[in-house]
C-alpha cells in the first residue's frame, strides 16, 4: 500500500471511529444528558393498592423505567414487599381472627406503634393476607381493588421486571428500599446480606445492572457497598435524620460538605421533591434550590420523591377542584423538576410523569 493510500485509510478509519462514538464523547460536541428516569413509587400506587403485582404491571404499561419495592423481612427470613413492617394499614390482617393474638406494640426507629408486624409472620402466613389501599378516602378508585392480591416477595417483583423487559423490549429496572435495617438487625433479621445475595442470584449486582438500592439510613448503605456492586441512593428528608445516626440531620447531609461525604459510599441522593422546589410565598412553586447543582458537583445523581397528583399533596396554587382527592396541576411539578435537572423522579402516577417528560 502506498503512503498516500495508507494515510487515506487511516483517515477513513479515524472518521469511522469518531462517527461510532456517542455524541457526548465526540470532541467539540456538547455532552448529551440522559433522559430522566421515571420510578413507579410502590407501583402505580395512585391507581392500585401499593406494592401489588397489579400495581407494578399497570406502572409498566404506563411507561415507567423502574418499579419500586420496599423490603422488609419475614420471621423465616424472606424478603417481602411492604412499605412498613407494620401492616394493618395495607392488608386485611385485622380481619383474620387466627392472627388476633399477633397484635402488639413495638418501638420502630424511636416511634411506638401498635399493630401487626411482618417479622412476626412466616411467608406462608403472610400469603394468606390480601392487600388494600392505604389512603381510601383520597383514592377510592384504587380502594375498589382491595382484597384482590397477596403480598409479593421481592423475587416475584424481580421476575416480573425480567418478564416485562422481554415482553416490552425495553429495560424495566427494580429500585428496592431497605426499610428499617437497624431495627431489623436488632430483631435478628438483618436485611443487607439477604438483599445482596438476591441481587447476585439475579445478576443485578453490578453498577450497570438495572437496579438502585436505597435507604434512609447510612451504615446499611456503607455495609451494602462492601457486599454488592449495585448503585446506591441515600434517601434524605426535610425533617429529622437517619435512625442510625443520632444527632445527624438530613438538612446538613445535603449541604455541599455533606454531599461529598455521601459520594464516598453512594451514587446518588433521593430528596423530598420540595427540597428542590419549595413552595413560594404566593402558594406556587418557587425557584429551584441549589440542591441538584450541588449534588451533581459532588458526582451524585438526584432522584426526588414522591410526586402525587392529588390536591392534598400539592402547593395551594396548584390545586384544582373542591376536594382534597381531586387532581391538581401536577404537570407543573413534573416539568419544573425535569427543568431543574433531576436524573429521575418517583411518582405515584407513572403515566403522568412519562407524559410530562415528553
Active-site positions read 41, 83
Give the number of other CB atoms < 10 A from CB of residue 246.
8
What is the residue-wise DSSP string for 91-136? B-GGG-GGGGGG-EEEEETTEEEEE-BGGGS-HHHHTTS-B--S-T
Residues 6+ apart with CB under 8 A from 321: 311, 327, 328
> Could you say which DSSP state residue 282 is in?
T
d(CA 301, CA 293): 10
Ramachandran bin of 329, using left for φ above 0, alpha for ψ from -120 to 50, beta for the remaining angles: beta
> Could you say which DSSP state residue 279 is in?
B
Nearest to 147 by CA among 54, 8, 266: 54
Partners of 307 in the β-ladder: 347
Amino acid at each position: 500500500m502506498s503512503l498516500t493510500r495508507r494515510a487515506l485509510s487511516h483517515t477513513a478509519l479515524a472518521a469511522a471511529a469518531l462517527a461510532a462514538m456517542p455524541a457526548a464523547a465526540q470532541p467539540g460536541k456538547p455532552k448529551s444528558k440522559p433522559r430522566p428516569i421515571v420510578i413507579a413509587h410502590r407501583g402505580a400506587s395512585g391507581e392500585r393498592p401499593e406494592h401489588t403485582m397489579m400495581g407494578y404491571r399497570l406502572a409498566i404499561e404506563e411507561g415507567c423505567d423502574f418499579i419500586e419495592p420496599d423490603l422488609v423481612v419475614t420471621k423465616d427470613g424472606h424478603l417481602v414487599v411492604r412499605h412498613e413492617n407494620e401492616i394493618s394499614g395495607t392488608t386485611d390482617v385485622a380481619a383474620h381472627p387466627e392472627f388476633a393474638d399477633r397484635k402488639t406494640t413495638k418501638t420502630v426507629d424511636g416511634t411506638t406503634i401498635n399493630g401487626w408486624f411482618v417479622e412476626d409472620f412466616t411467608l406462608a402466613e403472610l400469603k394468606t393476607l390480601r392487600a388494600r389501599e392505604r389512603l381510601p378516602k383520597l383514592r377510592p378508585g384504587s380502594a375498589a381493588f382491595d382484597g384482590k392480591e397477596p403480598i409479593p416477595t421481592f423475587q416475584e417483583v424481580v421476575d416480573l421486571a425480567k418478564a416485562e423487559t422481554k415482553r416490552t423490549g425495553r429495560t424495566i429496572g427494580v429500585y428496592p428500599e431497605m426499610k428499617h435495617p437497624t431495627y431489623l438487625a436488632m430483631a435478628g433479621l438483618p436485611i443487607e446480606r439477604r438483599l445482596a445475595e438476591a441481587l447476585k442470584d439475579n445478576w443485578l449486582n453490578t453498577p450497570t445492572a438495572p437496579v438502585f438500592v436505597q435507604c434512609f439510613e447510612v451504615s446499611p448503605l456503607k455495609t451494602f457497598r462492601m457486599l454488592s456492586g449495585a448503585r446506591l441512593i441515600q434517601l434524605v428528608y426535610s425533617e429529622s435524620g437517619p435512625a442510625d445516626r443520632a444527632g445527624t440531620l438530613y438538612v446538613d447531609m445535603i449541604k455541599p460538605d455533606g454531599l461529598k461525604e455521601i459520594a464516598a459510599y453512594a451514587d446518588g441522593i433521593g430528596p423530598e421533591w420540595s427540597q428542590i422546589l419549595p413552595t413560594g410565598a404566593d402558594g406556587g412553586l418557587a425557584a429551584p434550590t441549589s440542591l441538584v447543582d450541588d449534588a451533581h458537583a459532588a458526582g451524585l445523581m438526584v432522584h426526588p420523591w414522591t410526586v402525587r397528583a392529588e390536591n392534598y399533596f400539592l402547593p395551594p396554587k396548584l390545586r384544582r377542584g373542591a376536594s382534597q382527592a381531586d387532581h391538581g396541576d401536577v404537570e407543573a411539578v413534573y416539568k419544573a423538576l425535569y427543568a431543574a435537572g433531576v436524573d429521575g423522579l418517583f411518582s405515584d402516577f407513572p403515566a403522568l410523569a412519562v407524559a410530562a417528560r415528553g
